[in-house]
């Protein structure tokens, strides 16, 4: 099985005018997937190619197999974008024993085999992009086989470190110098949504056109606060041991469709970083190295250091027990996320007070 690559590598290749014959793109961060489709629109015009965008909501595998082999009449080739492709693979991999379902599954399996054969011997006039805006199950036979034939690119959910890098890269592209204060202010004011960040930064560029270097005071004149709560606000609340704020932020995240399983995973990662921070810091002098191991931007090391001093080992041990218990309850009990989260925060608050 070939290694899955980062979608940003694919975006760079397309910027250079390189189109893979066939590829599969998936992941939870839709921003980069939308960027990919935008770039495909642009390159289609530049290379005088047709571009066709379809979805599994309206088209099936047999439709796809017909379309990949059709040659356009008046141009040299076409780009075919098939969105939500993973829904077809998931539905086609059902193992229900019902005769009707089994027959339907067998037909889907046959179509998937035909698609794999096509990927081995593609129509040179078709550039095929199979896209799914979510995770995929790489254990499924189709993905195992397809990954040996075509490149897979993943658009991973972005975390704190990548958001800082995203902001810095936007200014670098415009050859505008900024410092950490500017990056932090934009992050804290606008938030972690990449669509909001890009919109605000692009609007800012119009206002500061011609500038080669901008400071924090200039940024404050133009950036409009649009920030919503993010997982990083929740981590900051725990950094300060502010249980009331942690409850409010977490419930807000859940109301805005952040799954509790993700929140628990991020908290486990965060508290593990606090547990190991001092050991890592003693081994490495470089802030960049420590930040790389922890998985944050160097600017935020001071926050991890402060938090690591506020929590004793016994407190962290108790918090890990609570997070594990809630993770099990989440998967085994039929309780709403907000109810489980409220219970979890209450238990963490009591554990910290008692210890």
pLDDT, tens digit, for every residue of 128-173? 999 999 999 999 999 999 999 999 999 998 887 889 999 999 999 9
pLDDT of residue 272: 94
- pLDDT tens digits for 110-125? 899 999 999 999 999 9
Contacts of 48 (CB under 8 A, 6+ apart): 75, 76
Whether the predicted pLDDT of 50 surpasses 90: yes
Q: What's the Rg (C-alpha) of the chain?
A: 24
Instruction: List, in order, residues 6 or more apart from 260 with CB less than 8 Å away.
Output: 254, 326, 330, 337, 340, 341
Give the pLDDT of residue 334.
Answer: 83
Name the nearest CA neighbour of 234 among 213, 260, 204. 260
Q: Summarize pLDDT for 263-299 with one digit per residue, the tens.
A: 999 999 999 999 999 899 889 888 889 988 988 888 7
- Categorize the per-residue pLDDT at 354 as very low, low, confident or very high, splitting at 50, 70 and 90: low
| CA 177/CA 214 separation, integer angstroms | 6
Ranges of CATH 1.20.272.10 domains, the chain: 231-354
Mean pLDDT of 209-221: 90
Show Cβ contacts of residue 230 under 8 Å, excluding neighbours closer than 6 positions: 191, 192, 253
Q: Strand, helix or coil at 197?
A: helix
**pLDDT category, 91, cuts 50, 70, 90?**
low
**Among candidate residues 125, 147, 152, 109, the one with its CA nearest the CA of residue 52:** 125
Residues of the chain with CATH 3.40.50.300: 5-154
Percent of the chain clearing pLDDT 70 (strictly above): 93
- DSSP 3-state assignment of 119? helix
Residue 209 — very low, low, confident or very high, per pLDDT cuts 50/70/90? confident
Q: Residue 25 in 3-state DSSP?
A: strand
Higher pLDDT, 299 or 99: 299
Q: According to CATH, where is 1.10.8.60 located in the chain?
A: 160-222
- pLDDT of 26: 97
At residue 107, does pLDDT exceed 90? no
Topology (CATH level 3) of domain 5-154: Rossmann fold (3.40.50)
| Chain mean pLDDT for the chain | 89
CA 246-201-223 angle, 5° bins = 65
Q: Which CATH architecture has domain 231-354?
A: Up-down Bundle (1.20)
Q: Which residues partner with 23 through β-bridges?
A: 129
Q: Calculate the alpha carbon distances from 276 to 122, 136, 270, 273 in Å.
A: 50, 32, 10, 5
pLDDT of the residue at 226: 61
Euclidean distance between CA atoms 226 and 191, whole angstroms: 7
Asked if the model's pLDDT at residue 15 lies above 90, the reply is yes
Q: Does pLDDT of 94 surpass 60? A: no
The answer to whether the beta carbons of residues 291 and 298 sit under 8 Å apart is yes
pLDDT at 247 over 80: yes
The kind and range of the H/E element at 95 are: none
DSSP 242: -
pTM across the whole model: 0.67
Long-range Cβ contacts of 85-92 (<8 Å, 24+ apart): 85/24, 85/56, 85/130, 85/131, 85/132, 86/26, 86/132, 86/134, 86/136, 87/56, 87/57, 87/132, 88/56, 88/60, 88/61, 89/136, 89/140, 89/142, 89/143, 90/137, 90/140, 92/61, 92/142
Multiple choice CATH, 160-222, 1.10.8.60, 3.40.50.150, 3.10.20.30, 1.20.59.10: 1.10.8.60
Least trusted range by pLDDT, from 24-28, 146-150, 227-231, 340-344: 227-231
């Amino acid at each position: 099985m070939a290694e899955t690559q980062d979608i940003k590598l694919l975006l760079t290749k397309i910027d250079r005018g390189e189109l893979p014959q066939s590829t599969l793109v998936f992941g939870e961060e839709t921003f980069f997937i939308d960027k990919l489709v935008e770039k495909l629109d642009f390159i289609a015009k530049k290379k005088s190619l047709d571009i066709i965008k379809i979805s599994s909501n309206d088209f099936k595998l047999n439709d796809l197999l017909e379309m990949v082999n059709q040659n356009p009449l008046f141009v040299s080739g076409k780009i075919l974008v098939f969105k939500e492709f993973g829904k077809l693979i998931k539905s086609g991999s059902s193992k229900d024993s019902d005769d009707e379902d089994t027959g339907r599954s067998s037909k889907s399996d046959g179509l998937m085999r035909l698609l794999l054969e096509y990927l081995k011997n593609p129509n040179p006039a078709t550039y095929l992009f199979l896209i799914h805006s979510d995770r995929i199950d790489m254990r499924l036979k189709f993905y195992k086989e397809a990954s040996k034939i075509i490149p897979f690119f993943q658009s991973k959910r972005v975390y704190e470190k990548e958001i800082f890098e995203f902001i810095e890269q936007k200014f670098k592209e415009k050859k505008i110098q900024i410092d950490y204060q500017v990056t932090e202010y934009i992050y804290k004011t606008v938030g972690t949504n990449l669509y909001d960040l890009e919109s605000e930064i692009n609007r800012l560029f119009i206002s500061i056109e011609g500038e080669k270097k901008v400071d924090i005071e200039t940024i404050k004149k133009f950036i409009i606060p649009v920030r919503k709560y993010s997982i990083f606000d929740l981590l900051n609340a725990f950094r300060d041991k502010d249980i009331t704020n942690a409850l409010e932020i977490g419930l807000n995240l859940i109301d805005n469709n952040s799954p509790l399983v993700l929140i628990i995973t991020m908290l486990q990662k965060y508290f593990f970083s606090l547990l190991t921070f001092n050991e890592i810091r003693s081994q490495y002098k470089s802030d960049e190295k420590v930040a790389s191991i922890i998985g944050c931007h160097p600017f935020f090391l001071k926050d991890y250091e402060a938090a690591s001093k506020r929590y004793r080992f016994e407190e962290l041990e108790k918090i890990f027990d609570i997070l594990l218990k809630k993770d099990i309850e989440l998967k085994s009990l039929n309780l709403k996320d907000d109810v489980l989260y409220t219970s979890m925060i209450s238990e963490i608050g009591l554990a910290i007070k008692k210890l």
